[in-house]
Structure 1
Amino acid sequence: MVKPLFGFALAGIVLLGSGCASNVTQPEQYSGFLGDYSQLEEAMSASGKPVLRWTAPDFDPQRYGSLLVEKPVFHPAQAPSDKMSQQTLDQIATYMRLALQRELVGKLRLVGQPEADTLVLRPAISAVAVSTEHLKAYEVIPIALLAAAATTAAGTRDQEVTLYAELEAVDAASGKPVVGMVRKGQGLSLENRKTPLILDDLKPVLDDWARDARHFRP
């Protein structure tokens, strides 16, 4: 059974340390957005970044003449906070979709409704984790308990931002998933733990992911 992200939700900030500093998302960090994680294998993106990926054995990109990029969802569901406003959450989802469309428009014809030859991209943002730079690892614990540990941290230290995402490509005609992907990436560091997160802090990683989608090879 897939474990949902606990303490990773966008409603709060989780302090993570080196113990969770793997280059790829760990099984306990899967959000449940994808129906099956058992076939994921580590691979390299076009830009040379490690990802977890699954491709259906019969997947043939040449079958598709059109592409529908759905608006990214937050999974688990997000709530605005002092760290991330509702405006920022909306901007992140909108920008992720626009970046994917911008990079993929030359690969396939973009459509607003699925057609017989459409490949549907379903992106999800599963977590935005903020951790204090150079501090020892903290166990992932409920936000209320974490607050006591966080007060011991120097408020002036940089805050490292990690974005987690999951993506599924679905054959519009059959409804079957043909590609699944889980990945993480680093946003720009925040000045300190009182600094709110804004879209510009995540644009570089979202742009990188969109370019990788353009150069995707099964």
Structure 2
Amino acid sequence: MRKRFSLPLLAAATLVLSACTSKKVSPDAYSGFLHDYSLLTEHQSPSGQTVLSWVTPALKPERYTQVYIEPSQFYPNPLPTERIPQTTLSDTTWYYDAALKHELGKVMKVVTTPGPNTLIVRPAITRVAASTQSLRYYEWLPITLVAAGVSTATGIRDQDSEIATEVVFLDGGTGVVVAEVVRKGTGLTLENDKQVITTADVKGVLDGWASDLRNSYVAMRK
């Protein structure tokens, strides 16, 4: 009887673990910010993270001597909630812009208006959320699975802060789209399902995205 009880629980735990540890944005989570998602293919970023991206074969990175970063936006436009207040929304877009300018400014001149020989970066944040953490290996045993289920039901189980982005890159002279990227990341751990999500919880993810973008640009120019 014990074996018949434990196997379904172990199977369920494995499925939950697989779903929660996915690092790639699934098609049903696309926001509509990009014009054509069919071009995206899976790649690894310079930091080793999974991203979905496309770069036109005609791209000549060396032609871009400067970069114009459009103010980042939330897409679709979200309504503030108790867990994700307006301060978090405003501070997150502000910090994303600052991180992109800081990193790309190391390898290109950051300008305030687009023009010839300018790469336009058009970033959007498409998700800020929290998800219950996946089951750890020591929680796979039947008795601890029951305990984990109780924790989730009562809202005391740790949660992961999550954020996703979609970015369009355009030629400043022609307005033609030259690259696109979709990715997501996991920020700091939240103590429960009541903790307010702040920009500090996802700063590390935003910094990583900006750093990856700089390193990707440098690699393409070699």
Q: Which amino acid aligns with 1:80?
A: P
Distance in structure 1 (CA, Å) of the matches to 2:70 and 2:47: 23
* Paired residue secondary structure (1:166): strand
* 2:132 matched residue in structure 1: 132
Q: 1:21 to 1:134 in 2, by over 3 A?
A: closer
1:152 is displaced (CA, Å) by 6.8
TM-score by length of 1: 0.82
Structure 2 residue runs without a partner (length 5+)? 1-15, 136-150
> Match of 1:12?
none
1:50 aligns with 2:50: yes
Partner of 2:165: 165
TM-score normalized by structure 2?
0.80
On the 8 A contact 2:131/2:159 being kept in 1, the answer is yes
Equivalent-residue separation in structure 2 for 1:193 and 1:92 (angstroms): 20
Partner of 2:103: 103
Tell me, in whole angstroms, the C-alpha distance in 2 between the residues paired with 1:210 and 1:202: 13
Residue equivalent to 1:118 = 118
Aligned-pair CA distance for 1:155: 1.8
Summarize the alignment of residues 191-202 of structure 1 with structure 2, pairs less than 5 Å apart. 191-202=191-202
Q: Which runs of 5+ in 1 are unaligned?
A: 1-15, 136-150
Match of 2:32 in 1: 32
Task: Please provide the CA RMSD for this pair.
Answer: 1.9
Shift of residue 172 of structure 1?
1.2
Asked whether the 8 Å contact 1:17–1:131 carries over to 2, the reply is no
Structure 1 residue 66 displacement after superposition? 1.1
Please tell me whether the aligned partners of residues 161 and 187 of structure 2 are also in contact (alpha carbons under 8 angstroms): yes
Structure showing greater radius of gyration is: 2
Deviation per CA, 1:36-73, whole angstroms, max 9, x where unpaired? 01111111101111110100011111111110011111
Normalized per residue, the structure richer in helix is 2
